Structure 1
Amino acid sequence: MRTVGVEEELLLVERGTGQAMAVAEAALAQARAWGTATLPGGGPGGVLTHEMAEQQLETNTRPHTSMLELEEELRDWRLRAARAAASVGAEVAALGTYPAEVEPQVVGSPRYEEMVRRYGLTGRQHLTCGLHVHVRIDSHEEAVAVLDRIRVWLPVVQALTVNSPFWQGLSTGYASFRSQLMLRWPSAGPTEVFGSAAAYDDLVAQMIASGVLLDRGMLYFDARASEHFPTVEIRSADVCLHAEDAVLVAALCRALVETAASSWAGGAPPPPVPATTLRLAMWQAAREGLDGVLVDPVTVRPRPAAEVVRALLAHVRPALRAAGDAALVEERLDVLLRRGTGARRQREVYARGAGLAAVVSDAARLTAGADAAAWPAEA
């Protein structure tokens, strides 16, 4: 069975006020001193680290075959991150963007500093939090074949995870404004059908040779072949407010990869949908989330979001059953469709009149639990 690992980017905010706090290095230093920044035994994943801005942390799980074990570790990393944050007076919040006004402070590394210098406002304003799902593949050729076949479903993955309706103190009109900010980077967004691993590698080499990108780490495709692990990395999702939603997405991503790999092995061609059309579908998913219509990946026509989600479920159901994930996914999809996304939750909290600080505080409470928010230091 294919393994799955998850990366989550989390905001660091001041306890009580919800103000963004540039304390990543201090929080990480404390976690390392406690021995809670890594899991023992080595191997991929199992680490708490920084991201581009000092106002965020990133958690990385180990690869798992069991979704319940993945969820247990993911929740543990949220708690570890919350505890490290609490040691410097902060909390962690699983929000795709920081809702209020903020000036991101770049982590002091030559690469990040060069990104800010080279990409100007795009680099200076970059403070977004995504959910990245790594699914194991058997070969580079299989990875590219999978990318060619899952691409039409990635807008639905985005719609399930929208969690960034506010940015710089403004209601953006989008359920996922994080996705719009990501598109400012020169390599972000949907890709065309590659057709082969050689074609994928040739395109990547051309992109690097252009001098526009600093390195291969800046391939911000909605999904890509990982440079460091034998995985496909699906990157179209906002970080999820609820941990159980992140596990739901991880299970769906594994099923998408398995379905695509089986289709390729059986000789079926990938759907011939142009990247331009996928960009429209991604925009619609970012705008509406689950609270409107999406672009159907088969007909490329508007369709109620719940119906498109059910179409995704039907598409991957054999793979879900084979992995033993069907009941978990169906139950959690029902909950998500009733309860709504993180974007809906943020808007509902804001509508109560307590302002964006209440939105941030609510998110911090849900991210790791009320007990974690109260931890002052290592016991």
Structure 2
Amino acid sequence: MTARKKFKVMSIFGTRPEAVKLAPVIEKIESSSRLDHTLTVTGQQRELLDQMLVSFELTPDIDLELMEEDQHLSDLTARVLAGLRGVLAEHDPGLVLVHGDTATTLAASLAAYHQQIAVGHVEAGLRSYDRYSPFPEEMNRQLTDALAELHFAPTSASRDNLRAEGIEEERILVTGNTVIDAVQRIAGLDPELPPRLQLLKNKAAADEIDLVMLTAHRRENFGGKMKKIFAGVRELAARYERVEVVFPVHLNPGVQKPAEALLKDQANVHLTEPLAYSHFISLMSRARLALTDSGGIQEEAPALDVPVVLMRDNTERPEAIRAGTVLKAGTNKESILKTAGRLLEDDEFHREVRSRPNPYGDGRASERILQGILHNFGLSEAPPDEFGI
């Protein structure tokens, strides 16, 4: 009897967040005897991506190595489209799997569409409904969802957004967010941190300091908003003696320059290079709170029972705002100080926020995505279960 030919899936990504969130999915796909998996990376964020590939023990089958210094979004998108043309023609996958809302996500989806290859979109349906905030992510994900045939929505709210846009019910699966799978895997590790960071973690564990994790990198915050954010962080650090802020500084000059100018000389603000994911999660697990304009931190920190102060004017993750695990301060300095200050000063309020359930998953999103792929392409009769909270 002739062995059944495996169904070919190609995962394509290019940035740190995509690697984190697709790593547990790739692990599940590669464990399936019915699927043949190819990992293609674009290198959109070269150094940050390579760091995550090591952290999650991922070895690309194809690396397009497309990153260029000071790259423009249009040029990057064109290079991804051109680079994937021959790759997709040669490998001819039955499904291209993409994640989220990056330039790689959109360009890979369009490249697959041009060759009539089905696209599966992990983390589908997130919306701010402001095309310029977050920029360019909001339109990247809307356009990707228009191109995708399978939509792996992290929450019921994301599913409802897709329904409202005319996506058929049978093409949507509510999975939870794969980052919870990744956090649960990494949180079980206890990596040895660089000495300065290990000391801060130990002090936080002994309740000798209030550790605050800071991330900031959104394009729409570059310029005046970023300066206001950092001015707020500087004043917060100066106001509270117990606070020690750890800031892994993004490599973009739009972050590095104002960070150096406004935060470098504040003794209890520690500027570091981007951290390995296991190091970042290890530190954040001991944090009193997280200050961020990131999307992923809104999901990751609550999984570790860490309250989040969101330094953005809007968010495509309203579930966290409604659940109360994320407190939106915007980019106004006084609002940042007030929101973070309450979490630092009011222990009862801090405990209440920590205890609120995370709306983003139960650690089984990757399994649901695998089952969704198998069921959709006739490789399994059993329909996948859906995540609900």
Question: TM over 0.5: same fold?
Answer: no
TM-score, length of structure 1 as denominator length:
0.30
Which has the larger Rg? 2
